[in-house]
Structures are given as C-alpha cells and as structure tokens.
Structure 1
Amino acid sequence: MTVLVVIPARAGSTRLPMKPLLPIAGLSLLHRTIAYARRALADLPAARLMVATDDPAIVAHAQEVDCDAVMTDTRITTGSGRALAAARLTPTLPEIVINLQGDAPFQPVGAPAALIRALAPPTTDVATPVVRLSWAALDALRDHKRTTPFSGTSCARAADGRALWFSKAIIPAIRDEERLRSAGAPCPIWRHIGIYGYRRHALEQFEATPPTELERLEGLEQLRLLELGFRIDAVEVAPAPFDISGIDTAADIARAEALIAAHGDPHA
C-alpha cells in the first residue's frame, strides 16, 4: 500500500497573507506542520511526506528542513485539490493520499497513522478522525457557537464507525440530556478533525464532481463525498493537548503562543 501524505500550503490567505511562513513562538507555521507530520509518521517510514504549494518561497522554506515540496497550479483553491495535484506529480501514483491541513500543526498526533490503518480494508474509501467530547467540552463548544456558529464541526457516527453526517450544528440532538449526565453516560457528540485520508479513486471522483447544494449550505466538502455514496470511516482518536483546530487569524496565533507558553511547545 503506497501512501503519500500531503501538506497543502497556499500562499494567498486573505486574512493572513503568506500564512505558512508566519512565525508562532519562533517557529513558522509550515515548519510546525512538517514537525507534526514527521512525529505522526515516525513509525511509518514508507509513507512519503510532501508539501504542495503555489509559491516558490514556500517550496524553499519547506526545503530548509529537508521536506519534499512541489509547485501546484495557483488556481487550485482547496487542500484536497492540491493534494491530488501533488499525487499526480509523483513518479508512482499512490494508493492512499492523506491530506493534512497546512494550518493545523496542533492536531492529535495519532490521527494520520489511524487513518492509514483504517484505509487498509478496500471497503473504506475515505477516513477522517473524530474526538468524543466530554460533557464539559460540549458545554464549551455550545458556548463558543453562540458567537461563532460556524466554527467547529460535529459528526453523527454509526456504531461501526461509519460517518453518517457532518454538520456545523451540534448533532445529534440529545433527549434526556440531564438524565444521561447524572447517570455518568458518555457524551454522544463527536467533534470532527479536518484531516482526510483518501483512496486515490475516491479523491479523483470527488475532485471531478462539482460542489453539491448541501455542501454549499453547510460549507463542508465532505458532504459531497457522502452524497456520492462513499464510505467515510470516522476514526476515533485521542484529543490533542491543545484545543486549537487551525490558524486562520492573528488572534489564533496569539492564542497558540499563549498555549505554548502555558503548556510547553509540542514541536520543541
């Protein structure tokens, strides 16, 4: 099973131009993401790691830490599209493509390997990690959504781990929540983490299909995969030490630096 792990690193962020090169506590966002990927893939030496970008300065920055990097079309607007473009540039097309977020270096370290394991059976087309929330984490998510309702994605998951749906709303709704809490039942809400593992044929079909109406309404591209009939395994992983999903604004950088100052640097 040939595996390519791609870090999409686009230069043209509206809110943070040249975002991959911006420092967070003295280490660039891209170098942090590469460090995260190398740590996550330490026991998988056959998995190839590559940065896919649209800017030669980002290629050079990746090469400073001996990471392979390729230039992809500047017109590509999604991480999945850039990951597929990188796969097509490799001498041997990979069977499995892992799309790591280039702006999320604080994800659960076990997630990439868990996705690769989940994609070993040929019946699985796509795999993506989820974290079971505690009741306290659910309360915090609800509070967060009062001001930023489209931040944070939940996943409705079948007993066998198959993803049934994803939403920016918190799903499923919970009847008798107080009874469940008082009985010590686990919280039934799963938070989605935006790392994707694809069999290449699924990624090819996904990229060849235009966005669907439900995808546009929710702003979640994985809904297109479900509407195409692909099986997505929602793989449970342990939560990351830092509860910060991505770096999108200057405030996110400040928050990440505060977490590093308080808890130590996972990429030191």
Structure 2
Amino acid sequence: MSLLVVIPARAGSSRLPRKPLRLIAGRTLLHRTIAMARAAIGTRDGVALAVATDDDAIADHARAAGCDAVMTDSAIATGSGRALAAALAQPVLPRFVVNLQGDSPFQPQGALGAVIAALQDGAQVATPVIALDWAALDALRDHKIRSPFSGTTCARAPDGHAYWFSKAIIPAIRNEDKLRASQPLSPVWRHVGLYGYTLDALRRFEACPPTMLENLEGLEQLRLLELGIPVMTVSVDPPRFDSSGIDTEADISRVEALIARHGDPTPAL
C-alpha cells in the first residue's frame, strides 16, 4: 500500500450526536461516504481505505460495509489527527494519506481521484477547488450574509499552488461589471474540504500547534502555508448539488429534499 484514504468518523458531535450512523434517505452517512470513496478509488493499485473512529459501533458499521476500521484515541480532536493516527497504525506506513471528511458524502465527482493524482505527481499537500461562475458567486455572497463563516475561498497561482484560503470571499474584484461582461467564470475559487498529504507533511502539520492566522480564520490549512508547506489545489467540476457537510438535522432534511428532486448521487456499496 502506498496511499491510505482515511474517513475520520468520531461519535461525539454536539449538534448531531452519533452523526456517522444517521440515516439520509435510507442510508447512513458513513455508508454513503464509504461508497463514494470506493467509487473514486476504483481499480487504483496500492490504495487502501479505512475508517478511523473512537466508537465500537461505528467501527462495526464500517466493517459491515466491508471497510477496514481503525480504533483511534477519543482525545484526538481533528480529522487530520485521526487520519495520522490511522496511518501510523498500519503494518506498513503509507507514503500518502488522504483525509476524506466523513460528513461530506456528496463531494464533487472526481475530487478524490484528482487529489490522489496530484500526490502521485509530486504534491506535498493537495486539495480540490471549484471555479465559481457569476451566479454561484452571487449565491455565496448571499449565503455569507446569513452565515459569514460558512464556505471557504482560495486565491491560487496559475500553476495551482494556493496563495491563501479565507472565510472572506477573495480576491476582491475591481471593475466587476466589466469582468462579468467579458467572461463566464468569476475569479473566485471555492474550496472543497478534502486533503491529501505526504506522510511527512502530515506529520509536520500535526507536530505544530495551531497558528495565529489559522485561529483567526478557523482554517487548518493556513497552518500549512504558515509552515512554508506548499498546497497544490486541483480544479474539479461542481457537484450535482451542494457539497456542504452534514452538521445538523436541517442539513439532513435539505439533502433528502435534494435527493428526492434530483436523484441519489451515492453509488451502491
């Protein structure tokens, strides 16, 4: 195994207790995430999939779907920390580790595969971004009036390397009317919360305490940039519907309504 995809799935959640086991249109959140990951991995050689959890019932639920489960310390507070713990528990250490958030089973098609490809092409850290058209940018601006810290944007170099991530919408756009008339896509990229690391980069990240700018924005990936670790962003197509995570009962109801309207994007296990 050269690459380990880890789905962190802890039991504790103040807003949605035992979240990985919650049903969404008849299938649990965890089984949906496992199915999405398997479809993305496909027939790639040297790639393994595991759920990292602190709960026996969640581990058993993962194994019922034929997925490996690794028990990790309940004191681990972050998905990246749980991903590292799962990697270090392997009999042979992987070269790369992907942290696939367990509460985001409706990510853009191709996002996981694009991250894996970027790592295999030499990236130390890779993460997906979506180019926003003007309608999507307008919707994000409207959303941030109500939830200013929901949704992350990215400023990136022409070669894909990230300059910065922010909960603010970056970059600011001078002469926006003229730009809107000249091109269909805005210059704003929306970040998708999926990360791939070399094992060394993940170890360096976890060995460093949270940084000042990371704390101000509430974005872990800023620690990487502050440590001087380059982050490669990979462009992916928008998902069939909203790729936000599942954090509340309202999120479950919203996604179930989208599934009823547009069909279920989750493949079979």
- Structure-2-length-normalised TM-score: 0.97
Local SS of the residue matching 1:246: coil
1:185, distance to aligned residue in structure 2 (A):
5.0
Match of 1:267 in 2: 266
| 1-structure distance, mates of 2:101, 2:164 | 21
Q: Is the 8 A contact 2:119 2:126 kept in 1?
A: yes
Q: 1:130-169 residue pairs with structure 2 within 5 A?
A: 130-169=129-168
Q: Which amino acid aligns with 1:39?
A: A
Local SS of the residue matching 2:8: strand
1:45, distance to aligned residue in structure 2 (A):
4.2
Q: 1:77-226 residue pairs with structure 2 within 5 A?
A: 77-122=77-122, 124-226=123-225
Match of 1:7 in 2: 7
Match of 1:28 in 2: 28
| 1-structure distance, mates of 2:46, 2:39 | 14
Match of 2:249 in 1: 250
| 2-structure distance, mates of 1:245, 1:57 | 25
1:243, distance to aligned residue in structure 2 (A):
1.2
Deviates more, 1:167-176 or 1:45-54: 45-54
Q: What's the C-alpha RMSD, in Å, of the aligned pairs?
A: 1.0
Match of 2:50 in 1: 50
Gaps of 5+ in 2: none
Q: Is the 8 A contact 1:244 1:256 kept in 2?
A: no
| 1-structure distance, mates of 2:184, 2:79 | 37
Percent identity reads: 65
Q: Which amino acid aligns with 1:113?
A: G
1:109, distance to aligned residue in structure 2 (A):
2.2
| 2-structure distance, mates of 1:135, 1:267 | 28
Q: How many residues align?
A: 267
| 2-structure distance, mates of 1:46, 1:264 | 32
Q: Which amino acid aligns with 1:68?
A: D
Local SS of the residue matching 2:70: strand
| 2-structure distance, mates of 1:83, 1:260 | 29
| 2-structure distance, mates of 1:83, 1:104 | 16
Structure 1 runs of 4+ aligned residues shifted over 4 Å read none
Q: Which amino acid aligns with 1:221?
A: E
